Amino acid sequence: MTDQDFHPGLTPGHLGAPVPEPEGRPPGAPRPRHDAPDPRRRRDRLACGLTALALVAVFGGIGLTGYTWLQSQRRPPTAADFPGPGTGSVQVSVPEGAGLSQIASALVRNGVVASSLAFTRAAKGSAAAAGRIQPGTYTLKQKMSAAAALAILIDPANANGLTIPEGWRGHQIYAAIDRKLNLPEGTALKTVQEHGAELGLPDFTNGSPEGYLFPATYSVTEDTTALDLLKQMVDRAGTEFNRDDATVVAQNLGQSVYGLVTVASMVQGEADNTEDMGKVARVIYNRLAKGMPLQLDSTINYVLGRSTLNTSVTDTKLDSPYNTYLHPGLPPSPISNPGRQAIMAALDPTPGDWLYFVTVRPGDTRFTDSFEVQQRNVAEFNANRAAAEPSAPASGPSSDPAAPGGAGAPSGAGAATP
């Protein structure tokens, strides 16, 4: 009989049963006690904690300092500015395409404003200034406030510039130069004749600036001469023609660079609007490729020194190399001074098979490769003109029943007869 028989319920593990001793400890041996904490460890831990707190404080301070500095940098710096309307007088030229920074630099250089920053801030903060500073030469004062200088510059009436419209011919430009500079009539033309070698024209122009007097606005000062303006125009034209790799484009189109300028000048004179310029250029190239005469009224108008929608059969028989009804190919030289969009049309004509076009009414230019369709379009044009101006004769060779083919497109409308 075991002890369990006398002490039921006291088996090991039951409540009240003796706790088994862990293995490896002899019966009656004292239980192990945890050692007391080491004072040196406490000091080390405290030191680590204090160090960590110190590092947090240091880096926090650095971060706060950096944030404060960054915020200070975001604040716009103070811009030096003069307080009043200024004194004295100075002329400042604003070239074509100048931006605010370029204008501001010119103002500072001439002592008009105290700093570029003050002027650009004034301009950017003014809704009226957006796109309002025109090319030209302005009379300003020295030591003006940025706001006072801006007020003068945004008024186009203060811009002393010469504006050349797109498509003007040389004689129109010469007359405008004479008027602007208060020169005797014929001075600019005489300048071209006597100083043509100084204009910087390409050799292939043979000294004729037609086509190379680029239409834009040019600054005029009290010291500007006719030669100065002419040289500026020729230089600007050279820049416009050269920036699109015109030599390579001309070769691809089977033309010379001078041929491209000539095509652009005809496009400028024939297209009713800028959207149609690429199509007009394509008609010219298509007719050249087929060996067809261009039959453009604008070339006849050029040699006759006029601008008209009426081209008679007699006109089409004019004995001139500029008469593209009689002579195939391009005329000897450009017939006007084309602008940027006409130049781009000559360089990159719209794809198409058109051989004819006519502006039936403003904004309605019709292009076709069919002569029969062109005949109907020209008849509609003439009917519209007759209705609007009962006394006006019908335009083009179609007004003459004996005209071969019976249809000549009006100036500004383009090649019409076969």
Whole-number pLDDT of residue 77: 67
Of 391, 402, 398, nearest in space to 371 by CA: 398
CB-based contact 90:141 (threshold 8 Å): yes
CB-based contact 86:112 (threshold 8 Å): yes
| Alpha-carbon span 201 to 213, nearest angstrom | 10
326 versus 414: the higher-pLDDT residue is: 326
307 occurs within a structural domain:
yes
Identify whether residues 213 and 146 lie together within a single domain.
no
Place 27 in a pLDDT band, splitting at 50, 70 and 90: low
Looking at 189, 208, 242, the residue that finishes a domain is 242
Number of domain units in the chain: 3
Identify whether residues 252 and 377 lie together within a single domain.
yes
174 occurs within a structural domain:
yes
For residue 174, CA distances in Å to 139, 171, 184, 209 come to 25, 5, 11, 11
Looking at 102, 127, 158, the residue that finishes a domain is 158
Token digits of residue 262 = 């000539």
Q: Average pLDDT of 90-111?
A: 90
Identify whether residues 255 and 389 lie together within a single domain.
yes
Identify whether residues 101 and 122 lie together within a single domain.
yes
Identify whether residues 265 and 211 lie together within a single domain.
no
Summarize the chain as % helix, strand, coil (round to 5): 45, 10, 45
143 occurs within a structural domain:
yes
> Percent of the chain having pLDDT more than 90?
56
Per-residue pLDDT for 177 more than 60?
yes
Identify whether residues 218 and 300 lie together within a single domain.
no
Q: Average pLDDT of 325-347?
A: 96
Place 402 in a pLDDT band, splitting at 50, 70 and 90: very low
Identify whether residues 252 and 393 lie together within a single domain.
yes
3 occurs within a structural domain:
no
Whole-number pLDDT of residue 386: 86
Mean of pLDDT over the chain: 82
Residue range(s) defining the domain that contains residue 223: 161-242
Identify whether residues 127 and 166 lie together within a single domain.
no
CB-based contact 221:136 (threshold 8 Å): no
Q: Which of 7-11, 176-180, 209-213, 220-224 has the lowest mean pLDDT?
A: 7-11
Q: Is 358 helix (H, G, I), strand (E, B) or coil?
A: strand
180 occurs within a structural domain:
yes
Q: Average pLDDT of 323-333?
A: 95
198 occurs within a structural domain:
yes
Looking at 158, 176, 199, the residue that finishes a domain is 158
Q: What is the DSSP letter of 79?
A: P
Q: Which of 109-118, 233-242, 397-406 has the lowest mean pLDDT?
A: 397-406
Digit-coded pLDDT (tens) for 285-310: 999 999 999 999 999 999 999 888 77
Identify whether residues 206 and 152 lie together within a single domain.
no
Q: Average pLDDT of 85-92?
A: 92
> Percent of the chain having pLDDT more than 70?
73
Task: Count the Cβ atoms, other than its own, within 10 Å of residue 180.
Answer: 18
Q: Average pLDDT of 341-366?
A: 95
CB-based contact 336:169 (threshold 8 Å): yes
Identify whether residues 165 and 143 lie together within a single domain.
no
Per-residue pLDDT for 180 more than 70?
yes
46 occurs within a structural domain:
no
| Alpha-carbon span 168 to 49, nearest angstrom | 86
Residue 371 half-sphere exposure, CB side, CA atoms within 13 Å?
10
Identify whether residues 208 and 233 lie together within a single domain.
yes
| Alpha-carbon span 203 to 190, nearest angstrom | 20
Q: Average pLDDT of 155-180?
A: 94
Out of 24-28, 164-168, 306-310, the most confident range is 164-168
Per-residue pLDDT for 73 more than 80?
no
Q: Which of 115-124, 188-197, 237-246 has the lowest mean pLDDT?
A: 237-246
Helix 340-347 vs helix 277-289: angle between axes, to the nearest 10 degrees?
Answer: 40
Q: What is the DSSP letter of 183?
A: P
Place 36 in a pLDDT band, splitting at 50, 70 and 90: low
25 occurs within a structural domain:
no
Per-residue pLDDT for 401 more than 90?
no
Q: Average pLDDT of 96-103?
A: 87
What pTM did the predictor assign? 0.71
Digit-coded pLDDT (tens) for 238-280: 998 887 688 888 888 999 999 999 999 999 999 989 999 999 9
Identify whether residues 252 and 236 lie together within a single domain.
no
Q: Average pLDDT of 171-195?
A: 97
| Alpha-carbon span 148 to 141, nearest angstrom | 9
Q: Average pLDDT of 215-239?
A: 93
Q: Average pLDDT of 375-404?
A: 65
CB-based contact 178:186 (threshold 8 Å): yes
Whole-number pLDDT of residue 221: 86
Place 47 in a pLDDT band, splitting at 50, 70 and 90: low
